[in-house]
Structures are given as structure tokens and as C-alpha cells.
Structure 1
Amino acid sequence: MEKTEYRSYIKGRTLLGVKPIDIHRELNDIMEEEVPHYSTVTRLSKSFNEGRMEVEDLKRTSSPKSAINDESIKQIRDLIEEDPHITYDEMEEQTTLSRGTIFNIIKYSLGLKKITSRFVPYILTVQNKQKRVEYSQQNLNYFRDGAGRLCDILTENEVFIYQKQIGRKQSNKLWVGQGQKPFAIKKPNNYDKKYLFSILFRSTGWVYIHLVGDRQQSIDNQYYINNILVPALQVIRDQRPKSGTKIISLLHDNARAHTHENVLAFLKQNQVTPIKHPPYSPDLSPCHYWLFDFIKQRLGDHTNEESLFEEVTKILNKIPISEYKKAFEKRIERLELCVKYQGEYFEHLLK
């Protein structure tokens, strides 16, 4: 739908007394893509109510330096303060200024630049940050004092993997001819088939992978012990030389299935030391900041859980041991950053 078309629609619906929020909802139902922002619908609706008749672009004057004055600067500042997400097209639409003039006002007069909002796993409280610093420092001391070694860490976590994969925005870019529309890609929703996997690995490679099942299945403490810990520890015992160390440090998150008293008793009985992991900290878990994303980027589509399990296993087998080792070395760097930045998330600071 061209600009003049959706403007005509907004104009007609406005004159019929339809509210901007309802007009925007209707446009979302009608248009497959490039739906005008709600703030644009609101501004256009207001201008049509105030007597604007044109649906074409307003005539703009040329953009000499004199176009940048206190009035035009205030006009752009007010638009940005009203809607920080506003685009150049929307600012052109609401003013008689050219794109070049708007660019110069934003860059040189207002000193602004547009950046992408940063997504974080959780909005941390002061107490959360304190725990992150406390546990990170304890972890660092544990390894710096020689009590623990990176090669002794066994890390585990669960992840849902979709049966059909959705590519990332960058990988979905493609060239299209003039007038052609890009292919639509549906985001996964709560009804798409996905399976819960538990994966355990060390600095020497992956140890054990367990397919829990689809979304209806969950892990409680006894399931975790019987189906994940017992077979994983058996694999380690079978692989370990008789003269080798018996120390195992288990790193997992704070899910109830992982921290239940039955699990802690089982670990103690089997001489496994649980490593304290701070709450809301996927940025300190090798599974989350490395392995799971690595796997998902390389998966194809599957028709059943068996073929999905097989490909996940193949991907794990193809990862060089040096990459597993690097994942744990990176964890030390992340612990240091967590302490340095007082428990704040630091992903945006990593190169």
C-alpha cells in the first residue's frame, strides 16, 4: 500500500469518527508489511480533523541554510520528544522541511543519533547486582586460589529447540526486483513444535545430551537426577583415566530442579561440587552465551524429534575441542567484567 493510499484510508476513517488506535489496528489487518507507526496515524488523523485535505506529500521548500532556525529546530525537537522512534519519513510528513534539513538539525543542532535499544535478560534490582558480584568474585577466587580448574567444570542447562528453524534477520536479507515484495517470514509462536534438550559439556568436549521431549514435558528434581546426572557422570567415569582427578564441579543455573535438596544430596554423595551461579545471569553460563546459539545457527528444518536430535549431536561432534576450552576461558573474562561493572549486564561491552 502506497503512502497516498493509507493516508486516504486514514482520512476517510477519521472523517467517519473512527479513533486513531482503531484505524491503526485496521491497517495492521489490511497491510502485510510497512504499516505506518501508531504515532504517524495519530498525527495524520489530527491534521485531517483540523482541516487538512491533501493526502499527497506537503510541498516543501528548498533547504538553504536559512531553513535551519530556532523555529525549525524546535519543531524537530518536539517531534522527537513526542516519539523517540520517529523516522525521517514521518518527520518529513509532519513538516515542510526537506530530509537534508532534518538531517542537519538532528546531527548538528540537536547532536542526536539513533541507536537500537538494548535487550537484557532481566531488569536487575540492586540485590540482583550484588549477588552477581558476590558469586562472580567467589568463582574467580575459587580458580585463582588453585582450588578449582577449568577442566574440572561440567556445565549443564536446558534449551527449547524448534523443529523448524527461523533464520536471523541478517541471513534473511535478499535482493528483489523493482515492485517485488520480500518474502514474509513467520516468527515462531507458542504452538510451533519444539523440544526440550539438556546438554552437558566440559572444556574437553560434550559429555551427554538428553532429549526431554516436547513442551508438555518438564524436569523435576528426580527426573534431573535419574535421566541427566546419573548417565552424564557415568560417561565421565568411563572416560576418565584411573590415575586422573576425581574432582567434578557442576555449573548450572538456579532452576528448582537443579537446586532441590535431593539434587544437592546426590551431588554430595557422588563427590560433585556445585558452583554457585547468580540469579538472572545467562551471560555467565557457557550454555547460554555460546553453545545454544552456536547450535541454533547451524540447524536445518526437521520433521520429527529423532532427526532433530541426530543433527544436534552431529553439530556437537563437529565443534573443535579448542572451542569448548575457549568457552570456559571466556567465562573467566565475563566474571571479571561482572565484578568490574558492579553486577550490570555487560554484553554490549564485548567485542
Structure 2
Amino acid sequence: MLTVAYGEATLEQSNVYRWYEMFSEGREDVNDEERAGRPSTSTTDENIDKVKKIVLTNLRITVREVAEDLNISIGPCHSILTNDLGMSRVAAKFVPKLLNFDQKRHRINIAQEMLESVRDDPNVLQRVITGDGSWVYGHDMETKAQSSQWKLPHEPRPKKARQVRSNVKALLTVFFDCRCMVHHEFLPQVSTVNKKYYLQAMRNLRGAIRQKRPDLWKNKHWLLHHDNGPAYTSLLVREYLAKNNTVMVPQSPYSPDMAPCDFLLFPKLKRPMKGRRYATIEEIKTASKRRS
């Protein structure tokens, strides 16, 4: 079947076995080792320019297709792409949402405002208290890196069954600053995440700041940064924050890389818990507190 598809370009069976053995032993480079003799005549400035034009026209084209278009071997074509052009083939990265122009502009404006605030006051970030909520599961799947393991050349690759998150879970709401945790709480079992719940969380946060950050509380120097979900931005919560003269740090929508809880705290908290099993809500809470 391979011969029908690739004709003379098909590897002989012995070469297939040889490459399979090398890949099993950890080799990643698909190019042949350098050998003495005449250099390849395919790597010319003309071919490099042609390869670049072809690839930029169709970024999903394969090395084999480029080589066939230029009537050159796959090895030199791959070398042109990686060595001469410095290109690499990567998969698309998943993001929460593809932002439109206005959302991107809003994101830039917020980032510029934050930079200007730091220029005006280099210590401003020490006054920011940031927070968000996230589900913590009784069982969450291991990451690919966590499940990786060493093996000998003759051993088969380890396997694992597809798993799903457990239904046992608890919502953790947490607030922290540059020093440490300021306040955290778990959503009561009979409650839902709504404006009334978050309003009470704001009251609890203010009490924690008064107790744990008296310097910020006394001078009203603390700044609040949180997500812009419906409960967080409800009129009830906004009126409460305005009544207490709470200064807000804006958060760009769909930008987890600008939210410390998303890119720092929650991944660091959940990573050691992945692959473990917690039978009850109380066990989840205990494990979360231990790693907070």
C-alpha cells in the first residue's frame, strides 16, 4: 500500500525497521547523519527562496509536498525549512476565545494603563489584592508530563485509560497579594455563584484585609482586581464597592494571561492534586488549604 501511494520514495522494509529502532531509543531528528562525500546540490539560494514562497502561501503544506513541487529529496527540503529558514511545525494553541479587533484594542489599553500606573508608582502592585474562583475536583486527570515515565529500549510504551473528572467538587474563591493569601472560602453546598454570594465574599474579604493588612486598610490604599464575570460585575456588587470607595484594577475580558489566579495560583494549586482521589468535599478542602 505504501508503494502504491509513494512509489520510488517508499523506504525499504529494512530501513523502516532501522528508523523505528532509532526513534524508540529517543531519536527525534528525521534527517540522515552527515556523511563524507559531495554536499547536497539541492540546498541552493534559489531552492531556499522557492521553499519559503511555497510555505508562506500554504502554511499547512507538508515537507513531502514541498519536495515534490521542487523535485528535490525530502531530507534536503526538511533541512532548508529547519536550518536555512529556521522554521518549525507547531500545532495551534487553544485560547478561551479568539478576540476581535475591539477586544484586542481594549486589552492593549488596559495593559498600557497598568504600565503607566507602575511608572507613576513602582510600589503600586504591592497594594493590589487579586482574586477569582475555580472548581477543585475530587479527581482530576494527570497532565501528560505528570504521567510520563522512563522505559528501556526493548520495553513497550506505557498505556493509560481515558479518564474524566469526578462529580465530587468544591468551588474555591481566593484572594491574595504579593505577600501571601489574604482570604479564601468555599462555596456552600446549597449555594450557587451569584451576585448575593459574591457580595458576601466581598464583605468577608474586607474583614480579612482589616485583620491581615491593617496598613492597607487604615490608609485605604488597597486595590481590588478580579474577574469580570456576571456575579463580579453585577450592579449589587458594584454599588457595594463604590459605597466603600474600593478602587478597581480593570481586567481585560477573555485574558487569563493577565489574571494572576489563572496563570499562577490555580495551576500551582491544582497540579499536585491531579491524579489523586479525594472522596469527600472535606478532603478536597483540606488538600486545597494545604497547598494554598
Is TM > 0.5 for Structure 1 vs Structure 2?
yes
The corresponding residue for 1:168 is: 143
Q: Distance in 1 between matches of 2:58 and 2:106?
A: 38
The corresponding residue for 1:39 is: none
Conservation of the 8 A alpha-carbon contact between 1:197 and 1:212 = yes
Quote how far apart the aligned CAs of 1:208 are: 1.6
Q: Distance in 2 between matches of 1:278 and 1:84?
A: 32
User: Aligned to 1:150, which of 94, 101, 125?
Assistant: 125
Quote how far apart the aligned CAs of 1:237 are: 1.4
Aligned residue type for 1:297: R
How many percent of aligned residue pairs carry the same amino acid? Answer: 21
Q: Distance in 2 between matches of 1:186 and 1:198?
A: 29
Q: Distance in 2 between matches of 1:148 and 1:108?
A: 45
Query: Which whole-Å deviations, capped at 9, do the CAs of 1:191-229 have from their partners, x for residues lacking one?
Result: 654432211112231122222268x96411111112x11
2:258 aligned with 1:284: yes
Cα 1:83–1:284 change in 2 (3 A) is closer
Residue correspondence of structure 1 range 1-351 to structure 2 within 5 A: 47=4, 57=11, 68=42, 84=60, 100-101=75-76, 103-104=78-79, 106-107=81-82, 111=85, 113-117=87-91, 119=93, 120-146=95-121, 149-177=124-152, 178-184=154-160, 186=162, 188=164, 193-212=168-187, 218-226=192-200, 228-241=201-214, 244-299=218-273, 301=276, 302-316=278-292
| Secondary structure, aligned partner of 1:256 | coil
Quote how far apart the aligned CAs of 1:256 are: 1.1
Aligned residue type for 2:157: K
> Number of paired residues?
264
Quote how far apart the aligned CAs of 1:117 are: 3.3
Cα 1:253–1:65 change in 2 (3 A) is same
Quote how far apart the aligned CAs of 1:151 are: 3.1
Quote how far apart the aligned CAs of 1:291 are: 0.8
Q: Distance in 1 between matches of 2:12 and 2:291?
A: 56
Cα 1:306–1:133 change in 2 (3 A) is same
Conservation of the 8 A alpha-carbon contact between 1:249 and 1:275 = yes
Normalising by structure 1, report the TM-score. Answer: 0.59
Q: Distance in 2 between matches of 1:246 and 1:304?
A: 40
Cα 1:132–1:186 change in 2 (3 A) is same
The Cα RMSD (Å) is 4.5
Conservation of the 8 A alpha-carbon contact between 2:81 and 2:88 = no
Normalising by structure 2, report the TM-score. Answer: 0.69
Cα 1:83–1:139 change in 2 (3 A) is closer
Q: Distance in 1 between matches of 2:269 and 2:129?
A: 18
Aligned residue type for 1:306: E
Cα 1:79–1:116 change in 2 (3 A) is closer
| Secondary structure, aligned partner of 1:263 | helix
Conservation of the 8 A alpha-carbon contact between 2:43 and 2:80 = no
Quote how far apart the aligned CAs of 1:285 are: 1.2
Q: Distance in 2 between matches of 1:112 and 1:141?
A: 36
Quote how far apart the aligned CAs of 1:241 are: 3.6
Cα 1:252–1:108 change in 2 (3 A) is closer
Quote how far apart the aligned CAs of 1:101 are: 4.9
Q: Distance in 2 between matches of 1:273 and 1:131?
A: 19
Quote how far apart the aligned CAs of 1:277 are: 1.6
Aligned residue type for 1:232: L
